[in-house]
Amino acid sequence: MPLEWRRAFALGLLALAAAALLAAACRADRGYNEDELILATTTSLHDSGLLDELAPIFEAEQSISVKIISVGTGAALRMGAEGNADVLLTHAPASERALLDNGDVTSRTLVAYNDFVIIGPPDDPARIGGSSDAADALAQIAQSGAAGGAAFLSRGDDSGTHKKERALWTDAGLSPAFDTDEWYKEVGQGMSATLTVANQRGAYTLTDRGTYLALSSDIPNLIPLVAGDARLLNFYSVMEVNGDKGRINTAAAAAFRAFLLRDDVQALIGGYLRDVYGQPLFIPAGEETETSIAARSDAQP
């Protein structure tokens, strides 16, 4: 009798092995899937819906299917470094430059930008409203927090926004941590989850303008308080992963980069949801560089 069970078990295993072998035989001879492009990008960009607008246009033109993998910027860059994606679209300039210097990516090009905003409760216990010095505002939040007034909510997920926030704390000469500073909390989740928690807690936080605008009707307890600091600029760049990593669809990655920089696509990026919010979510970079944008005083959306 046990033989019967054993047979069924062996048969099941055999079927599974056969299926795996079959799949391997069908696929193993190919270098990579030529009509597939894996794009690793940030949640904040994907949540805005912009990529769902652009990808189908690219797919129709090139007959390449785009697999948009939406993760934190930290994870997206790591996927590039490991060769698990063909093209990256993220917003963490310093980390991106490191990837370029390592040779993990062969190009890095500015596509669009917008800005970060420090938002917080309307009663503004740290009195930062109207300031345009982000580091100074954070220092005031820290001071008020230590006195038991304000609370600050950090993404805490190694995302582009989190990296920006940490850089601003460094500028303020501070390094708050959730385990030493009662008023500093880490959510460890995406932007919208962080905004939802901040709204419930009446806490300050740093957000990209796009996600804030998209959620603003659901977060009445948060208002924009600090904007207009050149350090709050948010740069989105496209990177082609180095073909040396093996099985990278470099041709499709190059085509995608060229696509994003094309005039008509740049216009689409600039016009995206402009009617809905009365201001652009993303400003196309055109010929400009990060330095030239930061140098202009009217750079903020």
Partner 1 sequence: MELIWDGLREAARLWWTGDAEIIEITLRTLAISSAATALALLIGIPSGAVLALRRFWGRGLLVASVNTGMGMPPVVIGLLVALVLWRSGPLGDLDLIYTPTAMVVAQLLLSLPMVVGFSLASIQSINPRLIGQMWAMGANRRQVLWLLIRETRLGLLAAVMAGFGAAISEVGASLQVGGNLAGETRVLTTAMVLETGRGNFEVAMALGIVLVLLAFAVNLVLTAVQQRRFIA
Rounded Cα distance between 45 and 26, Å, is 35
Tokens of 184: 């500093």
Closest CB to partner 1 among residues 248, 299: 248
Tokens of 203: 């806490």
Q: Please, are residues 86 and 73 in contact by the beta-carbon 8 Å criterion? A: no
Which of 60, 246, 275, 297 binds partner 1 (CB under 8 A)? It is 246
5 touches partner 1 (CB under 8 A): yes
47 touches partner 1 (CB under 8 A): yes
Question: Segment contacting partner 1 (CB under 8 A): 12-20, 87-95, 251-259, 293-301?
Answer: 12-20
Single out the residue of 174, 180, 181, 173 nearest to residue 148, CA to CA.
181
What is each CA distance from 80 to 73, 75, 122, 148, in whole angstroms? 11, 9, 41, 42
264 touches partner 1 (CB under 8 A): no
Which of 62, 69, 133, 136 binds partner 1 (CB under 8 A)? It is 69
Burial (CB count <10 Å: 0-12, 13-18, 19+), residue 265: middle
Closest CB to partner 1 among residues 200, 289: 200
8 touches partner 1 (CB under 8 A): yes
Q: Please, are residues 124 and 143 in contact by the beta-carbon 8 Å criterion? A: no
63 touches partner 1 (CB under 8 A): no
Q: Please, are residues 12 and 127 in contact by the beta-carbon 8 Å criterion? A: no
35 touches partner 1 (CB under 8 A): no
Which of 17, 24, 98, 295 binds partner 1 (CB under 8 A)? It is 24
Per-residue binder mask for partner 1 (CB under 8 A), 157-196, x = binder: ---------------------------------xxxx---
Single out the residue of 131, 119, 192, 129 nearest to residue 157, CA to CA.
192
Interface contacts to partner 1, rule CB under 8 A: 1-6, 8-9, 12-13, 15-16, 20, 23-24, 27-28, 30, 32-33, 36, 38, 43, 47, 49, 52, 67-70, 82-84, 190-193, 214-215, 218, 245-247
